[in-house]
Each structure stands twice: as C-alpha cells, then as structure tokens.
Amino acid sequence: MIDFELLPTEKSTVELAHEIAQNLFRPISRYYDEHEHEDPWDLFDTMWNLRLKGSLTAVGIGAALMVQELCWGDAGLYSAIPTPGLGGAAVRAAGTPEQRRHFLARFTNGKPKWGAMAMTEPGCGSDTAAIQATAVRDGDYWVLNGEKIFVTMGHRALDLSDGFIVVWATVDKAAGRAGIKSFVVEAGTPGMKVEKLEKKLGIKASDTATVVFENCRIPLNNILGKAEIKTKAEGFKGAMATFDITRPVIAAQALGVARAALDLLKEELDKKGIEIRYDLAHNRQTALEHDFMEMESNWRAAHLLMLRAMWQLQGRTPNALEASMAKAKAGRAATLITQKAVELMGPLGYSRKLLFEKFMRDAKINDIFEGTGQINMLIVARRVLGFTRDQLK
C-alpha cells in the first residue's frame, strides 16, 4: 500500500524548511539573482549549523518536501547551500559502505562544504555514453584527464571548501558504455582546477563551473564500484543509478518554484478582488479561472508522481521509471505554470517589480539538467514499451 504520510519529526522539519524559505531565502532572493557569483556566507553558516542539514542528506518523502519548501523560497539559494549535493548522491548510489562513510563523514562537522558531480563535456551532454574524459591506472593511482562543463557547485566544492567532486570518465573507450566509471576527486588534488564560472539565465545564486583535469592523480580506491569492465555495462548502470535518487529531487525543486508562482499569483488576484470559483461548472468559469485550475491540476499531477518516486526510493524499491516520469512531468509543469503566471499578470509579471519573471527563469533549468525532458521521456517510453536503448533513440 502506498503511504505518503510523514512522521511527526518529518512534519516539523518540513515546517521549519518553510520558515527558512520565507524568512531567510525570500528576503535576499532578488539580491543574489542580481549579484551572480557572490557568496552569501551568513546563509551558508546558518544552514550548515541547522539540524536541517542532516535531513537534506537523507532520501525519502520528507527530504523531498523539504527541498520543495526551500525552493519555494529560492531555488538558486537552495542549490547553493552546503550539502553533499549531486556528488553525495553518486557516492550513495554507487559507492561501497566504506566509501559512503569515508566521503560523507566530512559533512557532519567542520566548516561549510559542498559536493559536486562532473558529467557533461563540451562534446557530450545527454548521451553520457559519449564521455571522453579518461581514467588510466598507474600503480596505486588513477590518472584523470579531460574537461567537464556545467558542474553545479564545482567552484564552492573545490575552491571554497574541502569538499569533493564525482567525475565520470572512461577506463576503456573501446568498451563503450561498459567502460564508463565514476571517481571521487577531493578538493586540493593536484592536476584539477576550476577554469571558469558560467553566467546563467536562472538559479544564479548557485555556481556552475568548468573543471579541467590534467594528469590528476587520485587513490585507487576512489573509484565508485568495481574497476572491472563487464560486457553488460554493470558499472555504467551503477553510475546511472545516481539519477534514480536525484531526478525525484529535481522534480521537488521544480514543484517548489511552481508553487511559489501559484501562491504569488493567487495573492495578487486576491488583492484585486478576483476569486477562483471552484464550484462552478466548466462552461461558467472565466478564462482566468480555467487557466488557474489547469495550472493547479498540472502541479498536483507532478506532485503525486514525485511522491511516488520518492516513496519507492525510501522503500528501496526500483524506481528508475517513476524517477524519470516525475522529473519529466515536473520540469514541464513548472515551465508551463511559471510562464502562464507571467502571462496572466501581464506587464507586472514581466517586470522586475515582482518575482514572477524570476520564477520563470528559475523553473526552466529543471526541464534541462539531470537529463532533459526529451531524454527522460525516451527512458519512460523504453521501459513502458520494453524497448532497448538501440531500438528506441
């Protein structure tokens, strides 16, 4: 039986997340949107010292709802707060128990720190099997070479803290997908550098970096999973399992932004004395009422898909199909909802006086990173129809 009920402790933490979003994130939301690459250290220190930090490293419905609440406040600031992040998700998905303890223990003490994951390359985006970065064994070390782009929190993980980055690289190009492995590279490792920071459309409070590896030597046991190459690409599938954790979280991020737009739209309509009359028949509703209800129904559908994917994850039930469904639906829903909110508010929605245009910019990335909407729809189709990757591209 599916059960989305939260424990009392989870409920209180979700409520705390909303208070943080409202009182800490929202007041500085516009400032850090307009001052890209500035570091809100007061916020970092506060979030690092809160008990909420430990909850954000967990997986489950409670954690997803906390993410949703924080992104209701500001998606960029949520992405920027110190946590293991995508790198931590990769360690949890593909690492051994010893690796999880070793690499994630640093996030329980000391100064604020971040984790990051490096997958995308100048010539490789959604097709992760085309990765060109290499990892060559040299005695008791792996030697990494290559360039990674669009690395979320790469700068803060490597330059501002003693965090780490999980790098996807091939140990044998001839082996194709089977040769793709993931490696943990700790901050301060020689041969690794952050080359530049991107200027983005939205979520500007988070950093997005280009990271270059030149003969970067890491210990042999920093590979996540086994080094052996299997014909069925078990290693690659292990790395891809990271997305079963992260895609529902991205869905929660998208839903937080979309909810923020819906709530602000309802607030502005109330100010103008415009009521959404839910009890009227469809043919008696105004166009605005119809649009608002459609936005809400889109949100609710995406929300249920996200809850389902997270429920399976916390119950250790395979959720690859549901994770992709949740991510694809939420990314598209958030894009449509925030665009419609801007449209319904007219010039006020397009201006910078209110946050509508920012919500629209922050929402779009959820339909792009962690696998584009198109890629996730392909994954869903393959799994539903029983096709292989080669049969349906």
| The pLDDT value given to residue 124 | 86
The residue type of 245 is: I
Q: How far apart are CA 314 and CA 61, in angstroms?
A: 7
**Is 370 among the residues known to form the active site?**
yes
| The pLDDT value given to residue 234 | 58
| The pLDDT value given to residue 233 | 55
The residue type of 53 is: K
Q: What is the pLDDT of residues 123-147, one digit of tens each?
A: 887 777 789 999 999 999 999 999 9
Q: What is the pLDDT of residues 324-351, one digit of tens each?
A: 999 999 999 999 999 999 999 999 999 9
The tokens of 55 are what?
A: 């909850």
Q: What is the pLDDT of residues 87-124, one digit of tens each?
A: 999 999 999 999 999 999 999 889 999 999 999 999 88
Q: How far apart are CA 356 and CA 345, in angstroms?
A: 8
Residue identified by tokens 């602000």 is: 264
| The pLDDT value given to residue 235 | 54
Q: Report which DSSP code applies to 134.
A: E
Judge whether 213 and 183 are in contact, CB under 8 Å. no
Sign of CA dihedral 304, 309, 314, 315: positive
pLDDT at 267 > cutoff 70: yes
| The pLDDT value given to residue 299 | 98
Band of residue 56 on the pLDDT scale cut at 50, 70, 90? low
The three-point CA angle 50-51-54 to 5° equals 115
Torsion angle (degrees, nearest 10) of CA 283, 287, 291, 297: -10
| The pLDDT value given to residue 64 | 94
Coil, helix or strand at residue 101: helix
Q: How many CA atoms lie within 13 A of 268 on its CB side?
A: 18
Q: What is the pLDDT of residues 5-24, one digit of tens each?
A: 888 988 998 999 999 999 99
Band of residue 50 on the pLDDT scale cut at 50, 70, 90? confident
Q: How far apart are CA 270 and CA 267, in angstroms?
A: 5
Band of residue 238 on the pLDDT scale cut at 50, 70, 90? low
Band of residue 227 on the pLDDT scale cut at 50, 70, 90? confident
| The pLDDT value given to residue 109 | 85
The structural domains of the chain, ordered by start, are 8-83 (1.10.540.10), 109-232 (2.40.110.10), 240-385 (1.20.140.10)
| The pLDDT value given to residue 9 | 86
Query: Rounded mean pLDDT of 165-174?
Result: 94
Query: Could you give the residue ranges of the DSSP H alpha helices within the chain?
Result: 8-20, 29-34, 41-49, 52-56, 61-73, 75-80, 85-94, 97-104, 154-158, 234-240, 242-271, 287-314, 320-345, 347-350, 356-364, 373-385
Judge whether 326 and 313 are in contact, CB under 8 Å. no
| The pLDDT value given to residue 57 | 59
The tokens of 13 are what?
A: 């933490």
Q: How far apart are CA 263 and CA 389, in angstroms?
A: 40
Size (the chain), residues = 393
Query: Rounded mean pLDDT of 372-379?
Result: 94
